[in-house]
Structure 1
Amino acid sequence: MASKIDPILEYDFCVAFLSNKWHTPPSNLKDFVVTSIQQTKSNATNMVSIISNFLKNKSFDPYVKDCLRTCFDLYSDSVSALDNAVVAFKNKDFDTASTKVSVSLDSPVACQGLFNDKKGENKSPLTKENRAYFQFSVIPFVFIQMCRIHN
């Protein structure tokens, strides 16, 4: 159903996410939203770590390093925005929760776009990770919209 609400959400990705082995399975839609935001935050934290490791790699040219630094900041901002999204959602402030999750949606798009050089080549070492992270971010966004509809 979620992939029908937002066609950006890939059906197979959503099914895989929902099939995840949860430590504590969500018992209702609201618990699922909080859990999905926390999972997305965990992925944002992982992206920060991946980018940090790439920044240590001396083989990247200065252009790519600058892009990586900006991506590091974008994903770091996502971590704090997702913390705020959980608080807002628990307070039933769905507008703020959606806005905060949107920050997380924007991070991989903005990050990926940074790597397009003047020749139009994409030099991103994060293409696969940005794409997966975007899908992770869409999930809580869509489910917040579902809560908004049912509230």
Structure 2
Amino acid sequence: MLRHWHVSFLSFCFFLLFLFLFLWTPYDEISATRTFSVDLINKTCKTCSDKSTVFNYTFCSASLQEIPVSRTTNLQGLAIVAMELTLQNATHTLSVIKELRRNETWGHPFASACLRDCDVLYSDGVITLVDAVAAFLEGKYGSAGAWLTAVMDGATTCEEGFGDMEEASPLTEQNYSVFQLCDVALCIVNLLVSHA
């Protein structure tokens, strides 16, 4: 119980930081950086999609452009935004899993076992994402990348668990979003390492 409260509190802190930075930025500065930020996002997403067959350029571009442009004026800011989006999505997915688990009439016993496994994976994943952000902010890009990879593996394992049980996954959309957002963040981290 304490662990879940800790996760929720950390997610709330990141949200407050995100909101503060958005409200603090003057409107004319946002307007002035919009074109540059959109160009940076599109260029970065294109570079990443060229490096991977599973990377979704459209998903990357649309996701990152939802964020206030003042936060995306360089690769470091873009990486933090991608990790914040991943954390928000992973936290939301965890709440969906818990709601499904509370619904006792949902699914087969095998599906319940899959949901239990996904609960563990995402509970750990949210904490891992917080660690990844902290490592990135400390300049430990290798550690941040390793933890992002672990969260991607967790989303994949969650989804594949239903396939192994021949059950329809109720989390396909959520797992895909978390996987792709992790991939976006990981690619940007790797770009920063290669440019260092």
Answering whether residue 182 of structure 2 is matched by residue 137 of structure 1, we say: yes
Instruction: Note the C-alpha offset of 1:9.
Output: 1.1
Q: Distance in 2 between matches of 1:39 and 1:24?
A: 16
5 Å-filtered alignment, 1:1-151, equals 1-22=47-68, 24-59=70-105, 60-117=107-164, 121-151=166-196
Change (3 A) 1:56 1:90: same
Stretches (4+) displaced over 4 A: none
Q: Distance in 2 between matches of 1:131 and 1:90?
A: 26
Q: Distance in 2 between matches of 1:117 and 1:147?
A: 37
Higher helix share: 2
* 8 Å CA contact 1:6, 1:142 repeated in 2: no
**RMSD of aligned alpha carbons:** 1.6
Give the number of equivalent residue pairs: 149
Between 1:16-25 and 1:85-94, the stretch displaced more is 16-25
Instruction: Note the C-alpha offset of 1:101.
Output: 0.5
Which SS does the other structure have where 2:163 is aligned? coil
**One-letter amino acid of the counterpart of residue 26, structure 1:** T
* Normalised TM-score (structure 1): 0.91
* 8 Å CA contact 1:3, 1:9 repeated in 2: yes
* Normalised TM-score (structure 2): 0.71
Instruction: Note the C-alpha offset of 1:56.
Output: 1.2
Larger gyration radius, structure 1 or structure 2 = 2
Q: Distance in 2 between matches of 1:99 and 1:29?
A: 18
Higher relative contact order, structure no. (Cα contacts within 8 Å, ≥ 6 residues apart): 1
Change (3 A) 1:85 1:53: same
The unaligned stretches of length 5 or more in structure 2 are: 1-46
